[in-house]
Amino acid sequence: MPSATELAAAVRAGTTTAAELVERHLAAIDAREGEIHAFNHVLTEAARERAARIDEQAARGDDPGPLAGITVALKDNMCTRGVPTTCSSRILEGWRPPYDATVVRTLHAAGAVVVGKTNLDEFAMGSSTENSAFGPTRNPHDTSRVPGGSSGGSAAAVAAGFAHFGLGSDTGGSIRQPAALCGVVGVKPTYGYVSRYGLIAFASSLDQIGPFTTSVHDAALVLDVIGGHDPLDSTSIPREHPRLVDSVGQGVEGLRIGRITDLPAGADPDVEARLEAAFDALTAQGATVVDVQVPAFTFGLTAYYLIAPAEASSNLARYDGVRYGLRVDAPDTNSMYSATREAGFGEEVKRRIMLGTYALSAGYYDAYYGKALKVRRLIHDDFERAYAHADVLLTPTSPSVAFPFGAKGDNPLAMYLCDTYTIPTNLAGHAGMTVPFGTGAEGLPVGVQVLAGTLREPTMFRVAAALERAMEGGGR
């Protein structure tokens, strides 16, 4: 399949058209969307109109941008002006944002075409996309199984060929875990690498936007487009980022690949086997494997499920039935608040709001939330010590391949354990990505996770590209 770079160049040169690319993906959506349900909204006519304008630009000799005619599926928690943005929740019923998120504006300026808004676990809270108010998304590789979450719609859309690439948000693994289960590349950049302006917040100190693609090169291209400082986001890193597409072909000769010797157990044997094969593949290309320790890694899940719900309980307080979205009428204001939130939020969102409110309450703040923040610092410091000895770290992305619907829904803890290997990186604010690296049980995709320190994306992409080359070369 041609890369996004090649296709955009063809659109600019006039050897193909944006309209042709868009129609190809709309046809794929027509063929399988009813089976997969990757989208909450398919923007058929808007995508066609946008493609026509891009083709007019190219015909005039103007440059539509580095993503000319390239289609994108946006997670439905990114504001798009005049288009329903629901977070897959009833609480935002009828709301159409009056502005675009920064990433949406940036993609538009680069010539990309939005084909739809994708399904997710409600307010990005989940690991299977079973928590959506609009029904689950199904894994394109096996529709009896989940695509992962919370960005399962974007991952499934890319895996099914509904769009060239997707955007998701990653708070504790919500890009990397579904990417691994759907067999695509998924990137969570360093916190602050991509603007969060217009991303509807779950946990503001953890959320980060990143791409889903079918190749490492395309992931680098998309991140080069959407990355950079944004004065509208106070957490945006105020510096220029190096071009990641220049890193993809540099190889791994001389790099140190860290094996975490005290990594929490729990990955299935087929996943562990693929991780070992990844170490071997990098060694064969000139890298050196070194043993490192990250002692606080094992506390990531516990700390996360205090910090993230605490932030969520604050962020979601704005949904009260007064200013926008759903409103359930009641005799008085307090009753209206209660009735609206009871009707508008799903069970998992309510669970996390209550957990977060409890952790922040008087008498418990220091014992729970305050202690979790100290653990977060320990995790960050342990990672920093590991990166003094290794350029990147390799771990499983998900403990297992995609699991059947309903397998974990009745046991929240079992679902939370899906993010064992991804959460610590969010707490540290570091970079991480997953690369498809063969298959495991039932022939389903397995992803290997590449982790790197703050703003070490160029090195991370070098390693990811080497793993991809190993698979293209017949790696087993």
Q: What is the pLDDT of residues 61-110, one digit of tens each?
A: 999 999 999 999 999 999 999 999 999 999 999 999 999 999 999 999 99
Q: pLDDT class for 184, splitting at 50, 70, 90?
A: very high
For residues 339-360, average pLDDT: 96
Using the Cα atoms of residue 288, residue 291, residue 292 and residue 295 in order, give the sign of their dihedral.
positive
- Asked if 104 contacts 74 with a C-beta cutoff of 8 angstroms, the reply is yes
- Asked if 86 contacts 76 with a C-beta cutoff of 8 angstroms, the reply is yes
Residue 372 reports pLDDT greater than 60 = yes
- Asked if 81 contacts 117 with a C-beta cutoff of 8 angstroms, the reply is no
Mapping DSSP to helix (H, G, I), strand (E, B) and coil, where does residue 73 land?
A: strand
pLDDT, one tens digit per residue, over 404-426 is 999 997 888 889 999 999 999 99
For residues 311-323, average pLDDT: 94
CA-closest candidate to residue 165, choices 10, 17, 32, 25:
25
- Predicted local distance difference test score (pLDDT) of residue 77: 98
> Quick one: DSSP state of residue 265?
S
Instruction: Decide if 117 is catalytic.
Output: no
Q: Which two tokens stand for residue 391?
A: 């350029």
Residue 28 reports pLDDT greater than 90 = yes
d(C-alpha 69, C-alpha 54), whole Å: 7
Give me the catalytic one of 88, 89, 132, 174.
174
Q: In which element (H, E) is residue 180 found?
A: helix 176-182
- Predicted local distance difference test score (pLDDT) of residue 1: 72
What's the CATH architecture for 4-246? Alpha-Beta Complex (3.90)
Instruction: Decide if 150 is catalytic.
Output: yes
Residue 295 reports pLDDT greater than 70 = yes
- Predicted local distance difference test score (pLDDT) of residue 475: 53
**CB burial of residue 164 (10 Å; 0-12, 13-18, 19+):** buried
- Predicted local distance difference test score (pLDDT) of residue 474: 64
CA-closest candidate to residue 418, choices 436, 403, 437, 433:
403
Give the rounded percent of residues in the chain with a pLDDT score beyond 70.
99
Using the Cα atoms of residue 215, residue 428, residue 85 and residue 234 in order, give the sign of their dihedral.
negative
Mapping DSSP to helix (H, G, I), strand (E, B) and coil, where does residue 345 land?
A: coil
* Residue entry with tokens 């949406």: 104
- Predicted local distance difference test score (pLDDT) of residue 411: 85
The vertex-395 CA angle with 392 and 398, nearest 5°, equals: 140
pLDDT, one tens digit per residue, over 146-172 is 999 999 999 999 999 999 999 999 999
Listed as own residue / partner, the contacts of 214-217 with beta carbons closer than 8 Å and 24 or more positions apart are 214/1, 214/158, 214/164, 214/165, 214/184, 214/185, 215/3, 215/185, 215/468, 216/185, 216/248, 216/435, 216/461, 216/464, 216/465, 216/468, 217/3, 217/5, 217/245, 217/248, 217/465
Domain boundaries, the chain: 4-246
Residue 380 reports pLDDT greater than 60 = yes
Instruction: Decide if 75 is catalytic.
Output: yes
Q: pLDDT class for 131, splitting at 50, 70, 90?
A: very high
Largest CA distance in the chain: 71
Sheet harboring 185-188: ordered strands across?
Answer: 39-42, 113-118, 71-75, 165-169, 209-213, 185-188, 431-439, 445-452, 392-396, 256-260, 288-292
Total number of residues shown for the chain: 476
Q: Which residue has the higher pLDDT, 476 or 78?
A: 78
Amino acid at site 52: A
Q: Which two tokens stand for residue 454?
A: 């703050």
Give me the catalytic one of 88, 128, 132, 150.
150
Q: Rounded mean pLDDT of the chain?
A: 96
